Structure 1
Amino acid sequence: MGKKTDRSKTIEQLEGIEWPDPPSEGTGLVKAVHNLRKRPINLLTAWEMSRLIGQDVGIPWLLPAALDILRETATDQPLGGFYDDDLLTAVLTRRAPVWHSNPQCAADLKEIISLLEDISPNIRENVQSFFLEADMGVTD
C-alpha cells in the first residue's frame, strides 16, 4: 500500500479481476458491493467505502483513501463538523493481518484517533480492539 494509487480507477481495474454479475437472489449488500467495485474510487462516498471495507473488498486501495477522508474530517469534528462514524468503524474493525501488513496505515489511523476529541461510546470498544489488533505481535 506504499505507492500512490490512481483513484480514478475502479477496484476491478486495480485488481485486474472482473466479478460476474451478482446472483439474482443476492442480498442488497451483495449487489451493492458488486456494483461499487465498478465505480472509480474517487467517486465513492465515505458510506460506500465503508460498505466495501466492511466486506474486506479493495482493502489495499480503499484503506488509504478512507484514511485520507478520516484525516481531513478529524479537524472539523471538534467544531461540530460531520464525522463519519460508519467509515471509522469499518476501518477500525479490520483484523490484525491488515494492520501488520500495512504498518503505515496503522500508524496513520492511530494519529487520526488522537485528533478526535469526542469518540462515540459505541465506537470506543472498536478503538480499543484496533489498538490490540494493530499492536499484536509487535515488539520493540
Structure 2
Amino acid sequence: MLELDTEGCMPANPSVEQIEGETWPEPASDATYVIRRVHQLRRVPVGELSIEDLRIMLSQSVGTVAILPRVLYLLEENPLSAGDFYPGDLLVATLRLRRDHWSDHVGLLYRAQHLAQRVDAMTNQPNGVQTPELRRMVREFLSN
C-alpha cells in the first residue's frame, strides 16, 4: 500500500518500499551482496533505479509489481537494454518471472509478449541478436 507523505500526497517518485507499504529490517551482518543490495534498492525511488538495479530486483522477484511498468517502458524503448551482463539481460530477467505473476497482470503480459516477439524477429535477422540465453528465453516465453 502506497504511503502518503505528511501532507497526504502521494510521492512523485515512490520507492518499492513506499509502494508496497512494507519496511524491511536491515539484512543480517553476514548477508550476501545481493541480499544487502536488494534491501538498499527497495528504498530507492523507482524512477532512479538503474537497468542493473532493476535486473537484480527482478532476478530476486522483489518489488516486481512496483517496478515492472518502468521495466517494460525501458524495454519498449530498447529491448536489448543491458545491466552488467549482456545486451538483453533485463529482458531475460523479465521473461523469467513466474507464470503466476503474469496471470495477475494480463496487460503487462501482453506488453512482454510484444517485446518478446520483437526480439524474436531481431534474432532471425542475419546480423541479429546472437546472445544464446536471450534467444532461448524469448522462444521459451513465447511458447508458453
Q: TM class by shorter-chain length?
A: 0.7 to 0.9
**What is the identity percentage for the equivalent residue pairs of Structure 1 and Structure 2?**
28
Let me know the Cα RMSD of the aligned residues. 1.8
| Structure possessing the higher radius of gyration over alpha carbons | 2
1:107 to 86, 105, 110: 110
| Counterpart Cα distance in 1 of 2:21 and 2:81 | 33
* CA–CA separation in structure 1 for the residues paired with 2:40 and 2:59: 15
What amino acid does structure 1 have at the position aligned with 2:78?
T
- Residues in 2 aligned to 1:69 and 1:101: alpha-carbon distance in whole angstroms: 21
Note the residue ranges of structure 2 that are not aligned, 5 or more in a row.
1-9, 83-87, 123-127
Matched, 1:91 2:94: yes
* Counterpart residue type for residue 128 of structure 1: R
Runs of 4+ in 1 over 4 A off after TM superposition: none
Aligned residues: 122
| Match in the other structure for 1:65 | 70
Distance 1:23 1:8, change over 3 A: same
TM-score (norm 2): 0.77
Q: Residue deviations 1:5-37, cap 9 Å, x none?
A: 966101111111100001100000000000000
- Please give the TM-score of this superposition, normalised by the length of structure 1: 0.79
User: Which 5+ residue runs of structure 1 have no aligned equivalent?
Assistant: 75-81, 134-140
Of 63-72 and 113-122, deviating more is 113-122
- Higher relative contact order (CA closer than 8 Å, sequence separation 6+): 1
- 2:78 aligned counterpart, secondary structure: helix
Cα deviation for residue 128 of structure 1 reads 2.4
Asked whether the 8 Å contact 2:51–2:81 carries over to 1, the reply is no
